[in-house]
Amino acid sequence: MSGDLTIVGKRLLDRWYPERQLLLRSGGNISFVTFGLKSQIGLSLACLMLLGWLAYASAGLYRHQVIIAGKDSQIARMIGTQKLLNAEMRAVESRYRKITVNLEYNQEVLGDVLQQRASLDRARAQLARELRQTREQRDLALNRSARLQTRLATLEHNLRRTRDESDNVQSNLSEVTNQLSTTEMSRAQVQQERKALAVNLGTMQDNLLGLKRAQQHLQANLSSSETMVAQLTDQRDRAFSTNQTLNNRIASLESRLETLQTAQTDLVRNIHHRTNANITELETVVQLTGLNLDKLLDRVDYKQIGTGGPLLASEDEKVHAGEWTLLQTSPLYASLGLLENRLSRWTALNAVLERLPITPPVDNFSISSDFGNRRDPFNSRMAFHGGIDLAGVKRTSIYATSPGVVTYVGWKGPYGRLVEIDHGLGLRTRYGHLHKILVKRGQQVDFRHKIGLMGSSGRSTGIHVHYEVVYDGNPLNPNKFLKAGKYVFKG
């Protein structure tokens, strides 16, 4: 049975793989190459292996395309996250500007309140002085009224005594009349005495009328004094009422001022917390790149914080200046000063972050060679590789990884077609082996500005872009910057 199978298999092989010859003609001479059964089977196996390899390569290429599509969607999400982050940062800046305007408005309101309080203090002092004067005038009027009442009592006593004397004169006159009727001899004498008494009686009546007019005048003065006392008392009551109203208003203003200060303190505290969180995140991004944060901040141009104030000369303004000094020593003013410092640092960190190249220069890529020591692809010797090689499709767009100024374009030895961009703060990026350069030297480029197309110019074994990050002339590992960029877009 096995022998029959062997014979059948041999016949099939002879049918499929008969002996074939390949004729070769050169210079009139003909030669041939014979392909026997084994050679043809070997070629068939080689073809099958080639087809298998092509199938495997196609599957790998399809899987690679799937991975690239996933990365494209991830990059799109990262870009969307970056846009959201930028929008949030713009919203935070807008809120900060609104908060700054509110703080300035609150400070103006506070200054107005302090001025109103000083005015109220001066009005209260003026009312106190007027009240003291009113009290003095009231006491003086009371003393004058007491003296007038004493004088009036004395005049009434004199009037009663004068009336008594008049009654005595009338009785004496009656007696004299009786005597005149009884005796005519003393009539002339009595008439003379009567005339004299009549003159004395007229004088006394004139004195009595003067006393009555003096009494009326005293009563009028007493009424005027009582009216003045009533007016002074009413003014005193109104002054007390006004003083109480002013005190209540001052208390209300002080309560409102305390509420405003509490609200401002809470607002400053919230802004302080948000600013600290943002500063921590930005510092983490810079630390992931391996750069010296303090050194970078020293290279950022800080803006001078404005100073100034009104010229104070008068006593009232000196009082206001004292109150403003007390306000400056309050915890709120200290928090505002600390917040100003933190916001300055946050602004400087944002300026640093804008200059960091933390995104890849190409959208779709695979890292074909990493940073550091590697085996050279041409001579197989160990050599230092100052960047990373990002492989991709020919003529793929290459983008600037951060805003800056183009400092070199053209052919540069083993780099081939090279673009170098200065981003400031001592940072430069290089893009080598380009197929085409799309920028000029001295040109200002923005973030993600298209600067060239991927190629294989210069000392290169395939389509890729050689990407370098240089700081103060020293090459750095670009992977650290890309890791920092992933942290930013992930956050």
Q: pLDDT for 195-244, tens place per residue?
A: 766 666 666 666 667 666 766 666 666 676 667 767 767 776 776 677 77
Tokens matching residue 342:
């933190």
| Per-residue pLDDT at 151 exceeds 90 | no
Q: Between these two residues, 231 and 67, which has the higher pLDDT value?
A: 67
Is the domain spanning 361-490 CATH 2.70.70.10? The answer is yes
Residue 35 φ/ψ, nearest 5 degrees: -110, 110
What burial letters (b/e) apply to 139-159, b meaning 16+ CB within 10 Å? eebeeebeebeeebeebeeeb
User: pTM here?
Assistant: 0.46
Q: Are 469 and 427 in contact (CB under 8 A)?
A: yes
The fold for domain 108-255 equals Helix Hairpins (1.10.287)
Give the helix/strand (H/E) hosting 365. none
Segment 447-475, tens digit of pLDDT: 999 999 999 998 888 899 999 999 998 99
**Distance (Å, rounded) from C-alpha 461 to C-alpha 466?**
12
Q: What percent of the chain lies above the pLDDT cut of 70? A: 69
**Distance (Å, rounded) from C-alpha 62 to C-alpha 60?**
5
Averaged over 42-57, what is the pLDDT? 88
Position 452 scores a pLDDT of 96
Segment 74-96, tens digit of pLDDT: 888 888 877 887 777 787 777 77
**Distance (Å, rounded) from C-alpha 158 to C-alpha 165?**
10
Segment 267-280, tens digit of pLDDT: 667 676 777 777 88
Beta strands in 36-190 (DSSP E): none
Helix axis angle, 331-355 relative to 37-182, nearest 10°? 160
Residue 404 pairs with which residues in a beta bridge?
A: 445
Q: What is the pLDDT confidence band of residue 301, given thresholds at 50, 70 and 90? A: low
Q: Are 429 and 401 in contact (CB under 8 A)?
A: yes
**Distance (Å, rounded) from C-alpha 295 to C-alpha 303?**
17
Of 66-80, 241-255, 287-301, 469-483, least confident by mean pLDDT is 241-255
Angle at 258 between CA 257 and CA 263, to 5 degrees: 95
Contacts of 489 (CB under 8 A, 6+ apart): 78, 79, 81, 82, 85
Overall residue count recorded for the chain in this entry: 491
Q: Are 365 and 391 in contact (CB under 8 A)?
A: yes
Averaged over 184-195, what is the pLDDT? 63
DSSP state of 318: H
**Distance (Å, rounded) from C-alpha 471 to C-alpha 429?**
9
Segment 107-132, tens digit of pLDDT: 776 677 677 777 777 777 777 777 77
Position 316 scores a pLDDT of 47
Q: Calculate the average pLDDT of the chain.
A: 76
Contacts of 323 (CB under 8 A, 6+ apart): 114
**Distance (Å, rounded) from C-alpha 224 to C-alpha 230?**
10
| Per-residue pLDDT at 52 exceeds 80 | yes
Q: What is the pLDDT confidence band of residue 315, given thresholds at 50, 70 and 90? A: very low
Angle at 221 between CA 220 and CA 226, to 5 degrees: 100
Residue 388 pairs with which residues in a beta bridge?
A: 467
| Per-residue pLDDT at 171 exceeds 70 | no
DSSP track, 179-213: HHHH-STTHHHHHHHHHHHHHHHHHHHHHHHHHHH
Position 183 scores a pLDDT of 57
Signed CA dihedral, 410, 413, 418, 424: sign only: negative
The DSSP bridge pattern shows strands 434-437 and 397-399 to be unpaired
| Per-residue pLDDT at 327 exceeds 60 | no
Q: Are 215 and 152 in contact (CB under 8 A)?
A: yes
Averaged over 300-323, what is the pLDDT? 45
| Per-residue pLDDT at 34 exceeds 50 | yes
Q: Are 268 and 336 in contact (CB under 8 A)?
A: yes
Region of residue 33 (left: phi > 0; alpha: psi -120 to 50; beta: else): beta
Averaged over 374-390, what is the pLDDT? 85
Instruction: For the chain, give every domain's residue range.
Output: 2-62, 108-255, 361-490
Position 7 scores a pLDDT of 79
Cβ burial of 15 (10 Å; 0-12, 13-18, 19+) is: exposed
